[in-house]
Chains A and B, each alone.
Chain A
Amino acid sequence: MELLYTEELPGGASWSGVLRRGRGLRLVDPSGRANVSATFLRADAPSERYNMPDTLKSQFIARLAAPYVLYSDMGHVLASLVEDSVGWHDAFTGPSDAATVEARFGPGTYQELRNGRHTNAREHLLVELAKYGLSERDLPSVVNVFSRVSVADDGALSWTPQGKAGQFLTLRFEMDVLVALSATPHPLDPSTAWDPAGVRMEFLRLPAPTFEDPSRQCCPYNVRGFTLTERLFL
């Protein structure tokens, strides 16, 4: 593993970029308060994109954690979760939006607050995708990195704080992937003071997954998922 470079993603800000096959992205949360709403599309054919149901049902999970993987809607592995100090990242309560942010934090316009304005994950991701010619219709589901939302037997959802300063998650990209990130509060986080936490992005070069790779071998479904993905590069 080789650290290529590091960038800060301040709280309330967004980022996007193409991470090639064999690269990694480690998200580090220095404060222990961060939520990063993240989405993923195939860089050279973005109609293929992260698919929440396929990711969950193919691995029989209702949370994301290492060593599980993110599936596209075409049966390919976009990325593997290879290092994870947390063990639970929310997959099904979506990005914050203007309405949820205003309801919780009040209005916070640029005119009033300049770059301390209240931002939201949906608009962030729309802006980042638009930089690649993509629209609202191309926006997939998101993963809320560092956030835990659990489900009671009756289906009730509960957000639980779980952050520890220094927590991290490392993604290894198995294809060339357009990644879009928003460092904004989780839509179910009950805090009402606008103080979004930032993260450090560490860009990595990673060795190719071996046959014994934990993400490949964690279930028979992923063995096939990696085979189908590797066929793209034969």
Chain B
Amino acid sequence: MTTLTESKLDPSDAVLDRVVDSGDHWLHPLAVGQHLRIVDLEGNQAVDTFFLDAEDPGDRYSAEVTVRSQGNLYLTTGSVLRSVRGNAMATIVADTCGRHDTVGGACAAESNQVRYAIEKRPMHSCRDSFLLALSRFGGDLSKRDIGANVNFFMNVPVTSEGALTFADGISGSGKYVEIRAERDILVLVSNCPQLNNPCNGWNPTPVRMLVWDPRRTSGARRPPED
């Protein structure tokens, strides 16, 4: 049984409020204690999201450690998003959708060739967005720093016989998920441009990002703005 949990935070108190269009990337630091809410504005939009320690890219999100630590494959309120070293990076504190995926990964130009057609390589993909975001951020972050990500609002049911399916989304217009940073992290987002399967309802749409800071001060490192 899925439990939906709403947040008490008021958007008028947010320190950041911006819309990320489909096909765009967003790389933003979150300081420990800050909240990030991702709002699925029009519904059924997959938001591919990855987490890196803000100072040490060797410590990054691990889907494997996350699911085995909670004993469950799906993410929802209460899920602690853990790193390869077992550290808590963020906790899902509110969720009006109910289930999020973490084994479907990100679409890529190269995997689209395998999954759909060799001619699909030119189509835009999440991995290309991740790579551009990391390149623009500076430092030496690159493809090697990307692991299996979270797909907020995406429904990837697994059967007890070991099959994996991409089901119709269970998200809808205005549904949201909210996380609290448990350490200083970088949040890497691709608002998914996939047009070859129903993960975005065949129509990729914008999402809204809201950040709250309990201290009302950021102090976090800012990435280059678009």
Residues of A within 8 A of B (CB): 47, 51-54, 56-58, 60-63, 65, 71, 73-76, 88, 92-95, 97, 99, 122, 135-142, 150-157, 187-188, 221-222, 224-225, 227-228
Q: What are 10 A-B pairs with beta-carbon distances under 8 A?
A: A57-B103, A58-B114, A58-B115, A61-B164, A76-B110, A93-B68, A140-B147, A151-B160, A155-B74, A221-B114
CA distance A23 to B103 in the complex (A): 30
Cβ of B30 to closest chain A Cβ, rounded Å: 21
Cβ of B97 to closest chain A Cβ, rounded Å: 14
| Cβ 8 A contact of A157, one of B73, B105, B166 | B73
CA distance A179 to B108 in the complex (A): 24
Which B residues between 100 and 155 are near A, CB-CB below 8 angstroms?
Answer: 103-106, 108, 110-111, 113-115, 117-118, 127, 142-149
When distances are taken between beta carbons in the complex, the residues of chain B under 8 Å from A188 are 68
B13 at the interface (CB under 8 A from A): no
Known A-B contacts A75-B110, A94-B64; A141 and B147 likewise in contact (beta carbons under 8 Å): yes
User: Could you tell me if A228 and B72 are in contact, using CB atoms closer than 8 angstroms?
Assistant: no
Cβ of B22 to closest chain A Cβ, rounded Å: 20
When distances are taken between beta carbons in the complex, the residues of chain B under 8 Å from A56 are 103-104, 164
B41 at the interface (CB under 8 A from A): no
- Specify the chain A residue showing the minimal Cβ separation from B64: A94
- Specify the chain A residue showing the minimal Cβ separation from B109: A75
Cβ of B187 to closest chain A Cβ, rounded Å: 18
User: Could you tell me if A88 and B115 are in contact, using CB atoms closer than 8 angstroms?
Assistant: no
Name which of B32-40, B55-63, B175-183, B211-219 contacts chain A: B55-63
When distances are taken between beta carbons in the complex, the residues of chain A under 8 Å from B85 are 97
Known A-B contacts A47-B142, A92-B64; A53 and B148 likewise in contact (beta carbons under 8 Å): yes
Known A-B contacts A52-B103, A52-B105, A228-B114; A99 and B160 likewise in contact (beta carbons under 8 Å): no
When distances are taken between beta carbons in the complex, the residues of chain B under 8 Å from A122 are 84
Cβ of A153 to closest chain B Cβ, rounded Å: 7
CA distance A61 to B158 in the complex (A): 8
User: Could you tell me if B67 and A62 are in contact, using CB atoms closer than 8 angstroms?
Assistant: no
User: Could you tell me if A62 and B103 are in contact, using CB atoms closer than 8 angstroms?
Assistant: yes
CA distance A75 to B125 in the complex (A): 13
B165 at the interface (CB under 8 A from A): yes
- Specify the chain B residue showing the minimal Cβ separation from A60: B164
When distances are taken between beta carbons in the complex, the residues of chain A under 8 Å from B146 are 73
